[in-house]
Structure 1
Amino acid sequence: MIRQAEQRDASSLAAVSIEVWLSTYLREGVNAFFADYVLAEFTAQKFRDAVSDPNLSIWVSENRIGIDGFVTVGSTSTPPLANCPPLEIMTLYVQPRHQSGGRGVALLQRALAHCRSMGGERVWLKVNAQNDRAIAFYLRHGFKRIGSTHFVIADSAYENFVMEADIPCPVD
């Protein structure tokens, strides 16, 4: 089931974020530098604030036990490239054990439908340049690489690809 996030989801969103981020980017072990970043960035309070932010829209994938993924769309994002539209898919996280089950596709489709309902014709996102699985997912769903930017934590920078897609018109 896909539904709009609510305040009561904040701690679950934080937990899913931590799980996905750690399993995606820290495969060799967790050091204090990244642990401090994750614990400061993915908090229930930050997600409560995000759910209340009128410039953000968050949808969750929920199974019979709880939330197993979510997508966040920003409507006033500052694009990293001059030709990007203001609509951004900021986050699309699905718990590793629930990937390949259609949840990511359902969340992406919900995000694209939301962007279309806001009058958007294109949407952009950033993806870690080493995240081959996510890059392949977005390519399969109509995104194309249009440039690069960097994700910065303290004094370290990590290449991210900027990808963009046309938002399909709804079928009647």
Structure 2
Amino acid sequence: MSDIPNPGSIRAARPEDASCLAVLSIEVWIGTYLRQGISSIFADYALGQFTRGHFLDLLNRSAETLLVSENREGIDGYIRVSHGNPCPGRSSSATEISTLYVQPRHQGRGLGQALLAAGIEACRSNGWNAPWLATNSENKGAIAFYLSHGFERAGQTHFQVQDRLYPNDVLRCIDF
């Protein structure tokens, strides 16, 4: 048997996935953004933001779409698309790709690309605008990924944790 996940195993998230989505989010967020150690500011943010209750709430909102990638062992990635979030950059879209996370050990196998394609298709199916997203300006790998998959730069914004601001690039989907 191959360890390569099947990118065709994408489905709508269900309430029973909420705990898995929370844990996956913590794993990816901490591994991506906390490279110099974990301070209480970021620990409190991650533990307060990425909870089972948070995901259960999102799953009950009609303006939210959550799709998961699932291999034979469990969930290895997800995309969250949110409608009603105006773009802070050069786009009139109100549809945001709020999150696209793939477990680090499963990156580079096409899951991110498959989830992105499924999220964009969900935008079309829902009659929503072409999506936009924001990603940390230092996350060169994510920026390159989106630019190579039909996005272009559309401005800058910031991500705030307590009183700290972190620059984010705003990208918009032009291949819609």
Which band: TM-score by shorter chain? Answer: over 0.9
Written as runs of structure 1 = structure 2, the 5 A alignment for 1:6-155 is 6-81=14-89, 83-155=91-163
1:114 aligned counterpart, secondary structure: helix
Q: For residues 46-90 of structure 1, give each alpha carbon's deviation from its aligned partner in whole angstroms, at most 9, with x where no partner exists.
A: 001011111100000000010000000011113213633011111
2:28 aligned counterpart, secondary structure: helix
Judge conservation of contact 1:19–1:95 (CA < 8 Å) in 2: yes
1:65 aligned counterpart, secondary structure: coil
Distance 1:85 1:96, change over 3 A: same
Identity of aligned residues (%): 48
Deviating beyond 6 angstroms after TM superposition, the runs of 4 or more aligned structure 1 residues are none
Judge conservation of contact 1:16–1:95 (CA < 8 Å) in 2: yes
Which stretch has the larger CA shift, 106-115 or 116-125? 116-125
Alignment length (residue pairs): 168
Measure, in 1, the Cα distance between the counterparts of 2:145 and 2:91. 23
Segments of structure 1 that go 5 or more residues without pairing to the other structure are: none
Measure, in 1, the Cα distance between the counterparts of 2:129 and 2:53. 32
Find 2:10's aligned residue among 2, 23, 37.
2
1:122 aligned counterpart, secondary structure: coil
Judge conservation of contact 1:121–1:166 (CA < 8 Å) in 2: no
Q: CA deviation at 1:27?
A: 1.2
Q: CA deviation at 1:142?
A: 1.1
1:90 is matched by which residue type in structure 2?
S
Measure, in 1, the Cα distance between the counterparts of 2:65 and 2:175. 17
Measure, in 1, the Cα distance between the counterparts of 2:170 and 2:113. 19
Q: What is the TM-score normalised by the length of structure 2?
A: 0.92
